[in-house]
């Protein structure tokens, strides 16, 4: 727009704002004059009325808090992001699978070391990264309850559990019989289980098998990981798995309400292509897309529980596995054809509809759990797959198909019977109606709106959008490419989140947020008041147990003890010193420091770093932490507090003296 255009715009804007101010009685305290000032600023900054409206929609004034948290995966950065909505401010990056020095994760603090050591991928030593994909908030009665968060590592068959009391990871579980993971994490409506399935089939039983034995020796797996409702921790002993054919099991979702007790997993490459593009075979992407249909896996997990209880399982690598043959014989696994390279599967809030999108099909395909149950009861099959899994007839189980556009991937929902589907190829979000739109006058299975996003959207998230009662209101597009949205800062571009306002009949993009440290996949948006996080730890808290540490001490109880060549130090940190501030050891001694931050007020975190020893901890108020190391290099090392905690922060230092 030219300058003249802007002037007109500003005049119109000023008029509108003034009228609005008048109507809403904002005449006092800067009322009309204040709105005129807004118009003036808009003019100077060359903002159109739509820009100002967008800014107002997402703006959260300084000092005010956001209404929602978005918990987003951090992709191969290995972490989890917490973003405030609608402001799109990053509130935290939670260290999950990768070392993170600010949070003291992986730099000596014993709680972090033990947790990182849990995720070794088959005992092959510590892994220091992961590819976080799908966060799942714990649920009670199908609603997010704000207690725990689970997230899978796509690169490895691992899940991390995060406690939302302190937003720190408490457990990393290396899931047996699974090399890579994708399908999930999803939580069942009461978090009895969190589910994840393999992405790429694994050599069954472990070890090596040549690719020409793919059909016989490789298998997929669906893992139902039992959650301890007290601690949120995954208990492998109570968990079970189901052996699946060697297809690529893709995304998954848990049934709810009408479909409670069921789970759904997409698949692709039911062709069982193995690649080999320089060995005379078709490239994997062509081989895996040869057929018109793949299979939606339909799992009756309540029945699977009974089968396990009846002892019809085998134990593999320490976990109970229902063999494929048993799963078929017991009627807990069925397939339904799904068109053309399916990717996302999402269960609608009422639990009745299961929405599947095929990357190569412009339609979303919606299955109906009532039709599925009926087809199973009537054995309305069109045959079986090569492994004997019964395939339900497509026409018997599909309730609707909606032409939404190119490259549909994932779907979320609002409270009014709408579904929102991401379109990767079109770079757009499609809004369409489910079978029973709750808006009077809206037809079923109809595309009602579409908005462009920038660019190549993967997942999307609406507020509480995969619960039994979504809020709608906001949608975030998790775009894979940002291309020209930001200035060039080198060839590696940020990803781009876009906030879309769902209030009006037309979706509207109101904010662009660069993601500079991650390639997020899925995200979930939870109402902020559901999370009851701790601001300060109770005195002497051990982060692993969230209870009192046996090594916690009060100020004044500090001491140093030597037993043989083990030196143990009970230390406190408080503004503005460590007590003791001098530690004398001999080269080769084992040093154990138990440090209690005795502060009781919010934000009074102290760090503890020793140069040359790769030790850095973040000790939050009330926390007790332990670090052990061998003093293997002699010298005088000045440890210090890494958090700028007080006016005398610089003086918060001491000596580790390692005598030769
Ligand atoms: S995926 S962009 Cu790993 Cu969730 Cu669909
Ligand atoms: Cu404590 Cu700086």
Pairing, β 447-452 against β 457-463: unpaired
Instruction: Give the containing element (helix H, strand E) for 52.
Output: helix 49-58
CA of 599 to the centre of ligand 2 (A): 11
Atom of ligand 2 nearest to the CA of 573: 1
Three-class secondary structure of residue 536 per DSSP: coil
CA of 639 to the centre of ligand 2 (A): 11
Q: What is the mean pLDDT of residues 400-406?
A: 96
Contact call for residues 409 and 419 (beta carbons, < 8 A): no
CA of 563 to the centre of ligand 1 (A): 54
Which band of pLDDT confidence, cut at 50, 70 and 90, is reported for residue 135? very high
Q: Give the ligand with the smallest distance to the CA of 649.
A: 2
Q: What is the mean pLDDT of residues 201-219?
A: 95
pLDDT averaged over every residue in the chain: 94
- Phi/psi-derived region of residue 213, left when phi > 0, alpha when psi is between -120 and 50, beta in every other case: alpha
Which band of pLDDT confidence, cut at 50, 70 and 90, is reported for residue 436? confident
pLDDT at residue 371 above 60? yes
Q: Give the ligand with the smallest distance to the CA of 648.
A: 2
Which band of pLDDT confidence, cut at 50, 70 and 90, is reported for residue 432? very high
Q: What is the mean pLDDT of residues 345-372?
A: 95
472-523 tens-digit pLDDT: 999 999 999 999 999 999 999 999 999 999 998 899 999 999 999 999 999 9
**Is the shortest distance between the CB of 199 and ligand 1 below 6 Å?**
no
pLDDT at residue 80 above 80? yes
**Is the shortest distance between the CB of 461 and ligand 1 below 6 Å?**
no
Q: How many CB atoms lie within 10 A of CB 318?
A: 10
Atom of ligand 1 nearest to the CA of 154: 3
Between CA 144 and CA 227, with CA 93 as vertex, the angle to 5 degrees is 40
**Is the shortest distance between the CB of 595 and ligand 2 below 6 Å?**
no
Atom of ligand 2 nearest to the CA of 643: 2
**Is the shortest distance between the CB of 577 and ligand 2 below 6 Å?**
no
Q: Which two tokens stand for residue 85?
A: 């909505």
**Is the shortest distance between the CB of 409 and ligand 1 below 6 Å?**
yes
The secondary structure of the chain in percent helix, strand, coil, rounded to multiples of 5, reads: 15, 40, 45
Whole-number pLDDT of residue 5: 44
Whole-number pLDDT of residue 251: 96
User: What's the CA gap between 337 and 390, in Å, rounded?
Assistant: 11
Contacts of 377 (CB under 8 A, 6+ apart): none
Give the percent of the chain with pLDDT over 70: 94
CA 543 from chain center: how many Å? 21
**Is the shortest distance between the CB of 604 and ligand 2 below 6 Å?**
no
Q: Give the ligand with the smallest distance to the CA of 251.
A: 1
Q: Give the ligand with the smallest distance to the CA of 641.
A: 2
| Span between the terminal Cα atoms of the chain, in Å | 73
**CA distances to 127, 188, 399, 576 from 264, in Å:** 30, 12, 16, 55
User: Torsion angle of alpha carbons 465, 524, 471, 530, nearest 10°?
Assistant: 140
**Is the shortest distance between the CB of 653 and ligand 2 below 6 Å?**
no
Which band of pLDDT confidence, cut at 50, 70 and 90, is reported for residue 122? low
Higher pLDDT, 285 or 218: 218
User: What's the CA gap between 361 and 254, in Å, rounded?
Assistant: 24
Which band of pLDDT confidence, cut at 50, 70 and 90, is reported for residue 529? very high
**Is the shortest distance between the CB of 250 and ligand 2 below 6 Å?**
no
Instruction: Give the containing element (helix H, strand E) for 241.
Output: strand 234-244
CATH class of the domain comprising 541-659: mainly beta
CA of 530 to the centre of ligand 1 (A): 26
User: Torsion angle of alpha carbons 90, 92, 96, 102, nearest 10°?
Assistant: 120
CA within 13 Å, CB half, 323: 9
Atom of ligand 1 nearest to the CA of 409: 5
pLDDT at residue 57 above 90? yes
Q: Which two tokens stand for residue 149?
A: 């968060």
Whole-number pLDDT of residue 15: 57
Least confident range of 29-38, 253-262, 372-381: 29-38
Instruction: Give the containing element (helix H, strand E) for 230.
Output: none
pLDDT at residue 17 above 90? no
Contacts of 23 (CB under 8 A, 6+ apart): none
Q: Give the ligand with the smallest distance to the CA of 578.
A: 2
Least confident range of 111-120, 135-144, 426-435: 111-120
pLDDT at residue 125 above 90? no
pLDDT at residue 120 above 80? no
Whole-number pLDDT of residue 462: 98
CA of 91 to the centre of ligand 2 (A): 22
Q: What is the mean pLDDT of residues 635-658?
A: 97
Q: How many CB atoms lie within 10 A of CB 479?
A: 27
607-642 tens-digit pLDDT: 999 999 999 999 999 999 999 999 999 999 999 999
pLDDT at residue 3 above 50? no
CA of 482 to the centre of ligand 1 (A): 17
pLDDT at residue 527 above 90? yes
Whole-number pLDDT of residue 288: 86
Atom of ligand 2 nearest to the CA of 645: 2
Q: What is the mean pLDDT of residues 167-185?
A: 95
DSSP 117-177: HH--TTTSS------EEEEEEEEETTEEEEEEEEEEETTTTEEEEEETTTTEEEEEEE-TT
257-313 tens-digit pLDDT: 999 999 999 999 999 999 999 999 888 888 888 889 999 999 999 999 999 999 999
Nearest to 393 by CA among 405, 377, 375: 375
CA of 654 to the centre of ligand 2 (A): 12
568-600 tens-digit pLDDT: 999 999 999 999 999 999 999 999 999 999 999
Pairing, β 653-659 against β 582-586: parallel
CA 154 from chain center: how many Å? 11
pLDDT at residue 14 above 70? no
450-469 tens-digit pLDDT: 999 999 999 999 999 999 99
Which band of pLDDT confidence, cut at 50, 70 and 90, is reported for residue 1? very low
**Is the shortest distance between the CB of 340 and ligand 1 below 6 Å?**
no
Q: With both helix axes pointing from N to C terminus, report the angle between 3-23 and 31-44 in degrees, rounded to the nearest 10.
A: 160
Label residue 370 exposed, middle or buried (CB < 10 Å: 0-12, 13-18, 19+).
middle
Nearest to 55 by CA among 70, 68, 42, 40: 42
User: What's the CA gap between 342 and 495, in Å, rounded?
Assistant: 24
Atom of ligand 2 nearest to the CA of 649: 2
Best probe residue, ligand 1, of 74, 75, 133 (max atoms within 8 Å of C-beta): 133
Full-model pTM: 0.94
pLDDT at residue 179 above 80? yes
pLDDT at residue 417 above 50? yes
């Amino acid at each position: 727009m030219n300058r003249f255009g802007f002037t007109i715009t500003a005049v119109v804007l000023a008029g509108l704002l003034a009228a609005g101010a008048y109507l809403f009685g904002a005449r006092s305290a800067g009322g009309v004059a204040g709105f005129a000032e807004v118009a003036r600023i808009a003019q100077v900054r060359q903002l159109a009325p739509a820009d100002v409206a967008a800014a107002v929609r997402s703006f959260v004034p300084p000092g005010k808090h956001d209404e929602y948290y978005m918990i987003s995966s951090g992709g191969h950065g290995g972490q989890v992001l917490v973003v405030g909505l609608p402001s799109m401010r990053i509130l935290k990056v939670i260290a999950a699978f990768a070392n993170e020095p600010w949070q003291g994760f992986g730099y000596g603090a014993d709680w972090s070391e033990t947790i990182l050591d849990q995720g070794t991928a088959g005992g092959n030593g510590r892994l220091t990264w992961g590819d976080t994909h799908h966060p799942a908030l714990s649920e009670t009665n199908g609603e997010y309850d704000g207690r725990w968060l689970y997230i899978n590592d796509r690169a490895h068959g691992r899940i991390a559990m995060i406690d939302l009391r302190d937003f720190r990871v408490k457990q990393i579980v290396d899931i047996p019989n699974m090399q890579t993971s994708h399908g999930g994490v999803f939580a069942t409506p009461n978090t009895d289980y969190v589910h994840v399935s393999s992405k790429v089939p694994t050599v069954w039983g472990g070890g090596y098998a040549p690719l020409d034995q793919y059909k016989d020796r490789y298998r997929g797996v669906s893992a139902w990981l039992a959650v301890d409702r007290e601690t949120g921790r995954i208990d492998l002993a109570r968990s079970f798995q189901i052996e699946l054919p060697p297809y690529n099991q893709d995304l998954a979702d848990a049934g709810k309400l009408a479909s409670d007790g069921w789970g759904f997993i997409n698949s692709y490459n039911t062709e069982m292509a193995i690649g080999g593009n320089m060995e005379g075979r078709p490239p994997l992407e062509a081989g895996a897309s040869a057929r018109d249909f793949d299979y939606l896996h339909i799992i009756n997990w309540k029945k699977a529980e009974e089968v396990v209880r009846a002892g019809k399982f085998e134990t593999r690598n320490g976990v109970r596995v229902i063999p494929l043959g048993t799963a078929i014989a017991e009627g807990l696994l069925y397939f339904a054809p799904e068109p053309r390279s399916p990717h996302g599967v999402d269960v609608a809030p009422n639990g009745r509809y299961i929405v599947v999108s095929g990357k190569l099909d412009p339609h979303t395909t919606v299955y109906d759990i009532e039709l599925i149950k009926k087809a199973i009861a009537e054995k309305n099959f069109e045959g079986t797959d090569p492994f004997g899994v019964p395939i339900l007839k497509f026409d018997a189980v599909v309730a609707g198909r909606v032409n939404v556009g190119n490259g549909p991937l994932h779907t979320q929902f609002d409270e009014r019977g709408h579904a929102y589907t991401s379109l990767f190829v079109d770079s757009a979000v499609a809004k369409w109606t489910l079978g029973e739109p709750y808006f009077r006058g809206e037809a079923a299975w109809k595309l009602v709106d579409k908005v462009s996003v920038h660019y190549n959207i993967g997942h999307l998230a609406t507020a509480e959008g995969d619960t039994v009662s979504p809020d709608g209101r906001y949608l975030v597009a998790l775009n894979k490419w940002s291309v020209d949205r930001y200035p060039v800062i080198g060839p590696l571009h940020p990803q781009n989140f876009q906030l879309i306002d769902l209030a009006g009949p037309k979706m509207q993009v109101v904010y662009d947020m660069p993601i500079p440290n991650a390639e997020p996949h899925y995200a979930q948006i939870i109402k902020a008041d559901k999370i009851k996080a701790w601001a300060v730890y109770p005195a002497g808290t051990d982060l692993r147990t969230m209870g009192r540490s046996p090594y916690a001490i009060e100020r004044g109880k500090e001491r140093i003890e030597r037993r043989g060549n083990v030196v143990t130090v009970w230390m406190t940190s408080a503004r503005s010193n460590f007590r003791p501030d001098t530690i004398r050891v001999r080269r080769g001694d084992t040093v154990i420091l138990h440090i209690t931050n005795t502060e009781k007020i919010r934000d009074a975190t102290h760090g503890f770093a020793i140069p040359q020893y790769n030790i850095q901890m973040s000790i939050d108020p009330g926390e007790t932490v332990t670090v052990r190391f061998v003093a293997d290099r002699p010298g005088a090392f000045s440890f210090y507090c890494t958090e700028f905690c007080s006016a005398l922060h610089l003086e918060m230092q001491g000596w580790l003296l390692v005598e030769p």
